[in-house]
Amino acid sequence: MTDFRISDPLLRRIVYAIGMMGMIAFGFYTMNLLKPSMALLLDVLTPFIAALLMAYILAPVVVALQRHLRMGRIMGTLVLYMIISLVVFLLLAFLIPKILSEFISLFNTLKEVLPKLLLKLSDNEYLQLDRELIKLIEKKIGELEIDYEKIAAAILPGLKKMASGGLGAVAKATKGFFVSVGSLISFFSLLIFVGIISFYLIIDWEKIMPLIRKMIPPKHRERTIDILGKIDNAMGGFLRGQLTVSAIVGSLFAVGLFCLGFIGFPALLNYCLLIGTVAAIGGFIPYLGPLIGVMPAILIVLLTPEKPWTIKLITLTAVLLLFGLIQAVEGFVLQPRIVGRGAGLHPLVVMFALIFGSQFGIGGMIIAVPLASMIRVLTFEFYWLPIKRRDAALNGGSDSG
């Protein structure tokens, strides 16, 4: 009995593609059936997944501290935790309040400026916009509110509610206070729990790989270790590298806009931290950070009142040049040197992974990108490489014949 083979390379690729699409469709159907159970499981395992991911990212940093500062694993881990705690304290004490203040100020400015801009557009004889539609949009904008007073009242409700109500208001405020304090305690307890698990994982990190090696049958050991090494390079390179790149991109935006604001456009100076933070968060998806950072900067320049259009156009040009410079630095310097060409994931793949992972809660989002890196390596090793070898063998056989 002979094996069935398709000799035509194009037809073979089409059959493989149809088979892969069928497998993907069946996988989505199965995932939809298992979604409630998987979401519940991931919710339970979220602290352990977060701790494992944190240990995976920080373990090489601890090794570097050991090597350069000549300290033990426990002391190196404690030093790193002290640095992280200091950074978190600075964020909570200084950076986050400043960012929230800038966000509220920007929201109020846009809420004030946009109706005036829409009114000017409705008066333009060339655009011929529907005036009723403009009024409806103005009304909707006027109804938009950031209820930061309610947020503050959820943490400290007594000053506002107890002063204006009876016993019912006192009971409601007290209940809200304890609920909010309980949520805050639960959140920090979760962080401490994740930190403790991660601490022990980092200490024993170098013992994990020998243990895995012993668990693999000798016949498959070398091949499996080789693939695990490639997964480690891809996953670790992307996670550590992209986090570093996003932090650098956000910092470049904040510093660049601060300089532009200091030179002659104060509005950018007022919102540089907010825009830099947004660019850093968006920068986890490759090449998206500069794009997300430049959009609010352009809006601020265009919608800032009491500025002549000459100054606005010059500043807008400077913002676009800053965007182009940061984009070039990320594309030609940061991505190849920090993330690495072999470790990088396509931006659409990262977005798809995050959207897909969000269907399973926070745990799904945490595990989505590492899982995408793993699937990328496994697909290349077990799908594309065999196809290339078969194509090379067939082409070699046809040439020799």
Buried-state track 43-56, b at ≥16 Cβ within 10 A, e below 16:
eeebbebbbbbbbb
For the stretch 4-29, pLDDT in tens is 566 666 777 777 778 878 887 877 77
pLDDT at 106 over 80: no
Q: Is the dihedral of CA 215, 216, 218, 221 positive or negative?
A: negative
Q: What total number of domains does the chain contain?
A: 1
pTM value surpassing 0.85? no
Residues in the chain: 401
**Is residue 367 assigned to a domain?**
yes
> What DSSP character marks residue 330?
I
Q: For the chain, give me the number of helices (H) and strands (E)?
A: 15, 0
CB-based contacts of 331, cutoff 8 Å, min separation 6:
287
Place of tokens 């009995």: 1
> Sign of the CA dihedral 233, 227, 287, 53?
negative
Per the domain annotation, does 255 fall within a domain?
yes
pLDDT tens-digit profile of 334-345? 877 777 655 567
Amino acid 212: pLDDT: 83
Residue 221, Cβ neighbours under 10 Å: how many? 14
- Domain presence at residue 209: no
Confidence label for 42 from pLDDT (cuts 50, 70 and 90) = confident
Outline where 156-204 has alpha helix (H).
Answer: 167-203
Encode pLDDT of 266-294 as tens digits.
778 888 888 888 888 888 777 777 888 88
Half-sphere exposure of residue 131, counting CA atoms within 13 Å on the CB side?
A: 4
Q: Is residue 242 part of a domain?
A: yes
In a domain, 361, yes or no: yes
Determine the Cα–Cα distance for residues 153 and 148; give it in Å rounded to an integer: 8
Whole-angstrom distance, CA of residue 41 vs CA of residue 110:
43
The tokens describing 264, both together, are 């002659």
φ/ψ bin of 216: left (φ > 0), alpha (ψ from -120 to 50), beta (otherwise): beta
State which residues form the domain around 363: 221-391
CB 197 within 8 A of CB 203: no
How confident is residue 157, by pLDDT bands cut at 50, 70 and 90? very low
Q: Identify which has the larger pLDDT, 340 or 86.
A: 86
- In this structure, is residue 59 part of a structural domain? no
Which three-class secondary structure state does DSSP give residue 353?
Answer: helix
In a domain, 273, yes or no: yes
Cβ atoms of 222 and 36 within 8 Å: the answer is: no
For residue 286, is it within any domain? yes
- From residue 122, give the alpha-carbon distance in Å to each of 110, 127, 139: 18, 7, 15
Which of 263, 393, 375, 367 minimizes the C-alpha distance to 50?
367
